Amino acid sequence: MEIHVALFCIGIVLWLAWRWKKLSLWQNLGIPGPKPNLIFGNILELYRKGPVECHEEWVKKYGRVLGYFYGMKPVLLVTDPYLLKNIFIKDFNKFINRESFNPLHVYSPKHERSQSILNLPGQAWKYVRSVLTPTFTTAKMKQMSGSMKSSIETMLEILQEKAQKGIGFDIFDVYQRLTMDVIMKTAFGIQTDVQTNAKSSILRATKLIFVTPYKDAIIFLGYTGNKKTRRMTEAEIESSAFTVLLAGYETTSTALAYTTYLLAKHQDVQENLYQEIKDLVDKGQKLEYATINKLPYLDKVLNESMRVYPPVHLFTNRYAVEDVQYGDIQIPKGTLIQAPVYLMHHDPDFWSEPEIFDPERFSSKPNTEGITYLPFGVGPRNCLGMRFAQLEAKLALANLVYKFNIKLDDTQQDNLKILCRIRILAPSEVRVKLEPRNEEN
């Protein structure tokens, strides 16, 4: 009995010594950071305060490059724009992998959800990306814009009814139905009544993917561009389809909701945008794929909205696949690199008066020498559907602002109530009233 107790005690001591050695990594490398708990690392502080507030405190206290531990996982939090450019762009192949979509899930080639382009490592990611990239060529974008326009016209009819009734409503719900309708049509070839049927739930629409033979319906699977390459596996198709659904539905609807809120709150900005759109239409141009990029102020509005309220707000991340040295900063293999998006977008060192909504700040490009703006991620592993999301958002907003003046409903508080999820920073609702424009449009 005494021997068992002694062995147990020795085991505990050895485990604690091993644990302490692991948690001394950043201290030994001379990289500052919060002191980790022997059992939990820095997780408790992150959960108690929230990651955005926690990261902000740490950056103020320890500087633009700091180390902490997510449990036993070593994390390097970086807000140095020049170091980020090295990591995400110049030395991309040394940081090619990224953290799993689910923070509790470790990549496994046998796990179906690991086959998503979000999670795939190295060469597997390169292959799947090469298959999916042709989806977003100019020709395919033009093809998909017709389906987008059809869905937007349905949305406008619904909004016209609400405007005529003079009632306030949650436009975030309208946008969620719009983006679900668009993604189901363009990515999966499925017609739904999600916009017109109030009882058609998002969950029910999502389940359609798994009971429909979508493999042959997805636009981007019709042609890979190289007959000699292998076909995507069933698991890769399913997981990538699930990723496309989540990205195309939630992030775009969230960005639209935030932008609409800001336009309703800042009537001067909305009026400037309306005049730009009206000038284009008065010249005989239609609000469609061929002309939507002729609205530079619309670009500024969307860019600034995603700076103030980045939908994917926490961080963009990469894993070091080898040991890397930048001056005095040593990054060991296996380190998770995090670039905190919300923090970067609201840093007064990068943005003058960052809490103010000012589209004109995008009259010139953000810091081109480093990385300070990353709503879609950055580098070769940025958001694959960025052009798709931008096109959909531009078409929806341009048509909305041209037809209606947007105002906040009396029940909408001046400050949004925001729900902080694992990946998305979403408003609980955005209540507005619409007034039809006087002109015949």
Point out the least confidently predicted range of 43-52, 367-376, 423-432. 423-432
Using the predicted structure, report yes or no on whether residue 298 has a pLDDT greater than 70: yes
Amino acid at 308: V
Using the predicted structure, report yes or no on whether residue 269 has a pLDDT greater than 90: yes
Share of the chain above pLDDT 90, in %: 44
Does 383 belong to an annotated binding site? yes
Average pLDDT over residues 148-160: 94
Average pLDDT over residues 185-200: 80
Pairwise CA distance, residues 107 & 316, whole Å: 17
Please give the pLDDT value at position 420.
57
Average pLDDT over residues 12-34: 79
Q: Where are the beta strands (DSSP E) in 47-181?
A: 65-70, 73-78, 169-170
Using the predicted structure, report yes or no on whether residue 258 has a pLDDT greater than 60: yes
Point out the least confidently predicted range of 41-55, 95-109, 350-364, 426-440. 95-109
Average pLDDT over residues 122-142: 74
Pairwise CA distance, residues 331 & 325, whole Å: 6
Q: How far is CA 212 from CA 151, 196, 204, 218, 416, in A?
A: 21, 21, 13, 11, 38
Point out the least confidently predicted range of 255-259, 303-307, 354-358, 385-389. 385-389
Q: How far is CA 198 from CA 158, 177, 179, 283, in A?
A: 11, 10, 15, 38
Please give the pLDDT value at position 232.
57
Please give the pLDDT value at position 16.
62
Point out the least confidently predicted range of 88-102, 267-281, 327-341. 88-102
Using the predicted structure, report yes or no on whether residue 111 has a pLDDT greater than 90: no
Average pLDDT over residues 179-205: 77
Q: What is the CA radius of gyration of the chain?
A: 24
> What is the pTM (predicted TM-score) of this model?
0.84
Average pLDDT, the chain: 81
Q: 47-75, pLDDT tens digit by residue?
A: 888 888 899 999 999 999 999 998 888 99
Beta strands 404-408 and 324-326: pairing type? unpaired
Residue matched to tokens 């939990």: 40
Going by pLDDT thresholds of 50, 70 and 90, the confidence category of residue 144 is confident
CB 412 within 8 A of CB 431: yes
